[in-house]
Each structure stands twice: as C-alpha cells, then as structure tokens.
C-alpha cells in the first residue's frame, strides 16, 4: 500500500480538482519547491494512482494531470495520507518486527515525513505505551526499540490488534503477519486443532487466533522468546501445537504454553447435542445457573428450561474468566448495540454481575 507525504497529497488534490494538465514550473511555483522535487513527487503520485485505479497522464509538453470526478478529490487525498495516530501505529508495528534499534532517520524515511514529525510521533507512541506493560527504550546514536518482557509485549499486541481492528489500514499493518501465517500454514493448524479437540471457533476468534499465533511465530523467528514461567500440566492445546508446528521453529516450552493460551481463550461455537455443559468446570456451571436464576426472578421468564442458553453461558464464562486471569484482552463488538438497543437487559445483567 502506498501513502503520500502531505505535499504530495496536496498536489494530488489540486490535480484532481482541476482535471487539467499542469507543468512542472507551474506546480513548483504553486507549492514553493523546486521542479526536481515536483518531478520526484509525481513518481509517488503516479504509483499511488495506479494502485487506486485513477488515471494519471504525463505529457512531455503539457505536464501531468489526473482524470477523476470532482467529488472524488477530497476522498482521494484523504485516503492517501496517514494521520498522526496511524503513523504512531506504523512506528509501533515497525518496532514489533525489528530485532534491534531503529533510527529516527529510518522511521522518517518510511513514513515520508520530516525528522521533527517523526520525533513528535515517537513522543506520541511513548505516551500510548503507558497503557501497556512495556516501553520505548532510547539509546543515543542507536535509535529506539521496545523494552519489556516478551510475555507483556505479546499481550500488548493483543490489545493493539483490537484497537486497529476497525481501521481502514488494518490489513496494511498486519501484512507481515499474513505472510508468516501462510508460510507456517497457521490456518491449517487451527483447523487441525479444532478437529483434534472437537471444537469449533467463532469466525472472530479464528481470525484472532490466526493473527496472534502468527505474531508469536514472527517474534520467535526474530529471536524474541518467552523465558521462565510457572507452567501447569501440558494440556491438549500444547500437545497439538507441539505436534503440528514444524521442528525447524524449535519452539520452547514457555512459547508453547503461551500459544496454548491463544487456543484456550478462543470463543467457541457450540452444538446443543454435545456435552459441553458437563465438560465445563463446576464453578462456571454454578455461576451460569446463578445468573440465569437471577434473570428469571427479574424477568419472570422460565430461562432455566433453555438448555442451549445454560450451556452457552457456562462455556462463555469459562473462556471469559480464563482471559481475565491471564490478562488477555476481552472485546465485545456488539457492546454498543446491546447498550443502546436493549438497555434494560444491559442494565439488569450489569446489576447482577
């Protein structure tokens, strides 16, 4: 995906609105730069137009022009430039993929901004990282890198993944992980894991697991591994991962258990004919029964007779509590709809919990 500098976006918008040819000298005077700078900018603008399917024309005598509808001008230039927030996330992802330091010059070049802008964006990233358990480390004449326990960095990525989930740049951020996922056949591994454990993940959870597993593999390939930890008895998730991942990865026990957490924390689709309820630990079954009985008292509706509701709630609570206890992010994309469309139910459940 190609992004433009603010000046290139302004040139793009100008050419789109006029729809006429503009010579190098004319553009240089208008934007107060050299003709050489305009020529260099035109290459980026041309590539951007090709990517987006806009017609870019260059004539040795007339100059350059872009053929597009007038009402597309603002949209075209708006799509082309990264906002400050998007630049901050871009820097963070660049640091995720780097085994060492990254210089301000490298970041400025990647973002196609000035060094001052890059410095400002880095300050914004430092502020953003206060939400997580890792930080930005600066070293004179070296640059910057992420500093923290690998476990915390991976948990932080999980939060970042949900933050960018609705961003139009999402796939651009995640492109390296898609490649890793394809290289190690993560999607196939998830399907085999589902088959082996007799479960089915929801589409959202399968996507989440695919990305988070790929992130772990990417970090491991860069030499970032989880060290130490208090490991419980190896479960089916860990055994399946050990069997399915290639030997060349040489995944250590801490990393194996972390990836096992990813599988254990996925939301499941249930079949009412399966014995899911009986397989859930007693504390979650009792919790589900208590909640449903309280709702019955409030609503005067015999909810206890709904076997599927009872099973589904118990399984949901088990996974939710697992994520909370392991400091894994919980995101409900329907939360806003629930709050505003059925506020009575939302307030009642909030009161009960």
Secondary structure of residue 145 in the 3-state scheme? strand
pLDDT at position 201, please?
85
The answer to whether 56 touches 45, Cβ cutoff 8 Å, is: yes
- What is the rounded CA–CA span in Å between residue 234 and residue 238? 6
- Residue in 92, 127, 130, 98 with CA at minimum distance from that of residue 111: 92
For residue 73 the two structure tokens come to 């001008």
Q: What domains are defined for the chain?
A: 6-80 (1.10.10.10), 84-148 (1.10.10.10), 171-269 (1.10.1790), 276-352 (no CATH)
Q: Distance of alpha carbon 257 from its chain centroid, rounded?
A: 22
- What is the rounded CA–CA span in Å between residue 72 and residue 230? 57
Mind listing the pLDDT tens digit of every residue in the chain (353 residues)? Answer: 566 777 888 888 888 888 889 999 999 999 888 998 899 889 988 888 887 778 889 988 899 998 876 555 555 555 556 788 888 999 999 999 999 999 999 998 888 788 898 999 999 999 999 988 899 999 998 999 999 999 999 999 988 998 888 787 788 788 888 888 888 888 888 888 888 877 888 888 888 889 999 999 999 989 999 987 666 667 777 777 777 776 656 788 888 888 888 888 877 665 444 555 566 777 777 888 888 888 888 777 788 777 777 777 887 787 777 777 777 766 666 676 777 777 777 777 777 77
pLDDT at position 320, please?
77
- What is the rounded CA–CA span in Å between residue 47 and residue 45? 5
Q: Is the dihedral of CA 325, 329, 332, 336 positive or negative?
A: positive
The helix-helix angle for 203-221 and 170-183 (nearest 10°) equals: 70
The answer to whether 144 touches 102, Cβ cutoff 8 Å, is: yes
> DSSP state, 273?
T
């Amino acid at each position: 995906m190609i992004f433009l500098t603010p000046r290139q976006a302004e040139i793009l918008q100008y050419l789109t609105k006029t729809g006429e040819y503009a010579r190098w000298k004319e553009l240089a005077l208008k934007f107060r730069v050299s003709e050489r700078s305009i020529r260099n900018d035109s290459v980026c603008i041309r590539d951007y137009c090709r990517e987006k399917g806009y017609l870019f024309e260059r004539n040795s005598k007339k100059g350059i022009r872009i053929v597009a509808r007038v009402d597309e001008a603002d949209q075209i230039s708006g799509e082309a430039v990264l906002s400050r927030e998007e630049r901050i996330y871009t820097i963070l992802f660049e640091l995720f993929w780097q085994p060492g330091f990254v210089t301000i010059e490298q970041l400025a070049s990647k973002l196609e901004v000035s060094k001052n802008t890059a410095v400002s964006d880095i300050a914004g990233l430092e502020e953003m990282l206060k939400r997580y358990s890792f930080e930005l480390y600066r070293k004179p004449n070296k640059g910057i890198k992420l500093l923290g326990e690998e476990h915390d960095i991976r948990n932080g990525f999980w939060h970042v993944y949900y933050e960018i989930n609705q961003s139009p740049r999402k796939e651009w951020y995640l492109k390296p992980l898609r490649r890793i996922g394809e290289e190690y056949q993560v999607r196939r591994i998830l399907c085999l894991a589902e088959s082996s454990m007799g479960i089915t993940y929801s589409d959202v959870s399968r996507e989440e697991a695919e990305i988070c597993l790929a992130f772990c593999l990417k970090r491991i390939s860069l030499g970032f591994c989880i060290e130490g930890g208090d490991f419980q008895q190896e479960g089916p998730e860990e055994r399946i991962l050990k069997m399915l991942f290639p030997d060349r990865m040489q995944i250590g026990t801490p990393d194996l258990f972390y990836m096992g957490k990813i599988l254990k924390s996925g939301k499941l689709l249930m079949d009412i004919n399966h014995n899911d309820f009986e397989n859930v630990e007693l504390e979650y079954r009792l919790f589900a029964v208590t909640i449903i009985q309280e709702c019955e008292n409030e609503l005067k509706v015999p909810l206890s007779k709904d076997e599927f509701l009872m099973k589904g709630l118990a399984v949901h609570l088990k996974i939710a509590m697992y994520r909370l206890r392991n400091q894994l992010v919980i995101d409900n994309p329907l939360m806003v709809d629930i709050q505003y469309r059925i506020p009575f139910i939302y307030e009642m459940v909030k009161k009960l919990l």
